[in-house]
Structure 1
Amino acid sequence: MSYHAQRRARQDAERARSRAFWHQVAHSLRGIPNELLPFSAVQHLHPASERYSGVKPIPIQQIVGSVDRYRDFDHYFLPRASHTLERWIGIRQAGLEGKELPPIQVYKVGELYFVKDGHHRVSVARNAGQKFIDAEIIELSVTVPPDSDDSVKDLIIKGEYADFLERTNLNRVRPDHYPIIFTVTGRYDVLLDHIATRQYYLGLKFGREVPWEEAVGSWYDRLYKRVVDESREHGVLKRFPGRTEADLYLWIMDHRYYLTQRYGQDVGSERAAVDFAQHHAPTLPVRAWQRALTLWRGGKTHG
């Protein structure tokens, strides 16, 4: 049995290595990364705490990253480096011979997992079509959890979002608020400026000092949510493939200021949203191309 198991394990390893090569070719042609997420990127999400959750079976499809070996395996946990194959063959052979393997060790962030120990066991199990694997879990608490298709850039943006939520207490002020996710970094500081401006003008209007959280709630209700609701009503987001409602909010607010300066009076957010879509949205053929390109690259269309 040992000889046959070793022979089959070697054949499986060679096939897995070949699949990894062709995956790399396909990803290179599409201009998208083909690596596991590095666990270090999770630090952008500012984990608040960690706890030991014991040993449990976890879905292999939700294992998306690695603590220190994210370059040795591709996005599908196929072996990329030749020096890993002998270890891969040994793990596969042990499984074929019915030997029990110890649980892997992972960090859990949201509903996703990052491997601390056991990369080859994950790779072999996934390659064999296994759906679950036993894992010793350390769970990290984050305000904004990652998604399975997130890139490092997405995690940086979500970390900025977590900072924004902490500085505004929006989760407590408006627990059911719309998600506020941008497609570029550095935009939450602009939102903080909007809230500070709102606080200033509310103070003038009411003749009193307006608490920060009151200004946050007013900004969300009267500005952000209103713009998003009006954009949804007029289908504005569909005309900007690959963008988000948060992106639109800032564009529309800037456009509202421009129109107000042009006409000498406040035109309102709804008119600004409609006018912005009419004059700045890509043409239909361009939108179709952008959406197709985003999907071909495995990206997010956001609408």
Structure 2
Amino acid sequence: MYANTTATQEIEEAKRQALLNNILATLRGEDNHLIPFEWVRFLNPRGEHYIGTQTILVDQIIGSVDRYDEFDQHFLPLTHHLDERWVAIRKAQIEGKELPPIQVYKVGEGYFVKDGNHRVSVAKSTHQKYIDAEVIELDVNITPHPGESLKDMIIRSERVEFYRTTQLDELRPNHAEIDFTTPGRYDILLEHIRTRQYYLGIQEQREVSWEEAVGSWYDKLYWHVVRNLRKHNVLGKFPGRTEADIYLWIMDHRYFLTEQLGHDVGSEYATLNFKDHFRPHWWERLGQRMQLLRKKIVPSPQV
């Protein structure tokens, strides 16, 4: 009876803490969910190998294969249907019963739960430091930098692959740096280049090489937008974003305006219109800058 009552009280407390975490994350403009294992595909893993059962740090478990939307980023439960299983595991733990190892994928220094999400949630909630796990390690293309988050690692891996595919360093040695703050964006740039290649071929009635398409995309689209961003000081209106981030927004906005008005509005008009309609209010920009400053002073947990 004692174990069941204690476990029930603890999950209610865990859910209250998860609710508070959600509120605070919303106020800070941050995400409060686990990292989906699906993101790992952006690292282009070359393969995997089984390491065996090891004792791992609970704090290094940062994601889940298929339950990432059921727990917050601290592995606290977000939905009521988790209660019964959670309570049963905690009750068994209090009664001294041995629990089987969880199963995880290791990516860099972080772990993603393949099986055992509830056991990890209980471990996190009770401040357990270590947990036994069967570990499968993924071989990824890049080596993690000290203190680098998985998100940053994914973006860096995508960046390396983008430059390898486009050979932009060779084609345009003095190009503007193309950096993103969100995974999955470099693939969109590659699609822009393929589209450029296709329409150039139609326009000029000839075969257009990949190298020519890359150069034309950079000169006529990307660099043209970036010049406008710098000319009109757009980047300063969107703290924490990069020129590449805003380039994609401008391209989408240009398409929207063109469809709405019935003619191509051009990149400069799209840039100015986007700046006027979507820049945050001054108090929002102040909050964003304070958040960036806070992250520099007190770095968020890394994996």
User: Aligned pair in 2 of structure 1 residues 295, 11: CA closer, same or farther (>3 Å)?
Assistant: farther
SS at match of 1:29: helix
Identity rate of aligned residues, in percent?
48
Q: Is the 8 A contact 1:242 1:300 kept in 2?
A: no
Distance 1:115 1:125 in 2: 13
User: Aligned pair in 2 of structure 1 residues 293, 50: CA closer, same or farther (>3 Å)?
Assistant: same
Q: Deviations over 1:100-125 (max 9, x none)?
A: 00000000011110000000100101
Q: Is the 8 A contact 2:89 2:118 kept in 1?
A: yes
* Alignment length (residue pairs): 209
Residue 59 (structure 1) aligned with residue 62 (structure 2): no
User: Aligned pair in 2 of structure 1 residues 296, 36: CA closer, same or farther (>3 Å)?
Assistant: same
Counterpart residue identity of residue 159, structure 2: Y
Distance 2:122 2:187 in 1: 42
Distance 1:114 1:50 in 2: 14
User: Aligned pair in 2 of structure 1 residues 25, 159: CA closer, same or farther (>3 Å)?
Assistant: same
Residue 91 (structure 1) aligned with residue 105 (structure 2): no
Distance 1:108 1:294 in 2: 29
Residue 74 (structure 1) aligned with residue 72 (structure 2): yes
Note the C-alpha offset of 1:70: 0.3
Q: Is the 8 A contact 2:162 2:186 kept in 1?
A: no
Distance 2:44 2:187 in 1: 18
Q: Deviations over 1:110-150 (max 9, x none)?
A: 11100000001001011111111100011001123567744
Q: Deviations over 1:264-284 (max 9, x none)?
A: xxxxxxxxxxxxxxxxxxxxx
Note the C-alpha offset of 1:290: 5.3
Partner of 2:100: 102
Q: If the length of structure 1 is used for normalisation, what is the TM-score?
A: 0.57
- Aligned ranges 1:138-153 → 2 under 5 Å: 138-144=136-142, 149-151=149-151
Match of 1:112 among 94, 107, 110: 110
Distance 1:291 1:300 in 2: 15
Distance 1:78 1:167 in 2: 40
Distance 1:105 1:159 in 2: 25
RMSD over equivalenced CA pairs, Å: 4.1
Distance 1:84 1:101 in 2: 18
Structure 2: gaps spanning 5 or more residues: 168-177, 194-237, 245-283
Note the C-alpha offset of 1:163: 1.2
Distance 2:67 2:86 in 1: 14
Note the C-alpha offset of 1:159: 3.5
- Aligned ranges 1:207-286 → 2 under 5 Å: 242=240
Note the C-alpha offset of 1:160: 1.6
Distance 2:3 2:148 in 1: 34
Partner of 2:120: 122
Q: Is the 8 A contact 1:32 1:297 kept in 2?
A: no
Q: Deviations over 1:80-109 (max 9, x none)?
A: 010001111000000000000000000001
Q: Is the 8 A contact 2:28 2:291 kept in 1?
A: no
Distance 1:35 1:121 in 2: 17
Distance 2:103 2:66 in 1: 13
Q: Is the 8 A contact 1:17 1:79 kept in 2?
A: yes
User: Aligned pair in 2 of structure 1 residues 15, 156: CA closer, same or farther (>3 Å)?
Assistant: same
